[in-house]
Amino acid sequence: MTVDTTDGLASLQPTEPDGATARYVFRVELRLELDTTGLWIEPDRFETTLYRTADDPGTSGWLFFRDMLWRGKLADEPHFRRLVEDELGCPVVSASFSELRTDKTHLEAVKAEIADNLALFNASSVSDVLNKYLGSSIRVE
């Protein structure tokens, strides 16, 4: 599977309750490194939740799930970690995809856009596409 990195994770920002109707949710373990003598931190690693706003269907970046996920998991975890490291400026020890958290309206719009563009997914149905990339990791709120 090839990964399109043209958009990278440029819109990778924690999503506050700001009206966003869909977001990708990841668990990441970060490592903090100090560049100074006589100071240290314990633990130097921590796990946190990372959110990425899901782009509106049909807009630039809406194919994030196709380019980054496979069967509900990260398709290329080392690549994803590097992208997150670039955005956050600290080492990412591990990363995993948790879910696409969305509302019914956004999910229906995604399904409609997929139906109009099945050739982009090498699939025969919308259900096949959702299963192929997101697995069962969709939560409708």
Mean pLDDT of 7-20: 50
pLDDT of residue 21: 84
pTM of the model: 0.83
Tens-digit pLDDT profile for residues 116-132: 999 999 999 999 999 99
**pLDDT of 65-82, one tens digit each?**
999 999 999 999 999 999
DSSP E strands, 16-65: 22-31, 45-53
Q: Tell me the β-bridge partners of 100.
A: 24, 138
Longest alpha-carbon distance in the chain: 60
Q: Are 58 and 113 in contact (CB under 8 A)?
A: yes
- pLDDT given at position 9: 57
Q: What is the mean pLDDT of residues 90-110?
A: 97
Quick check: 10 pLDDT over 50? no
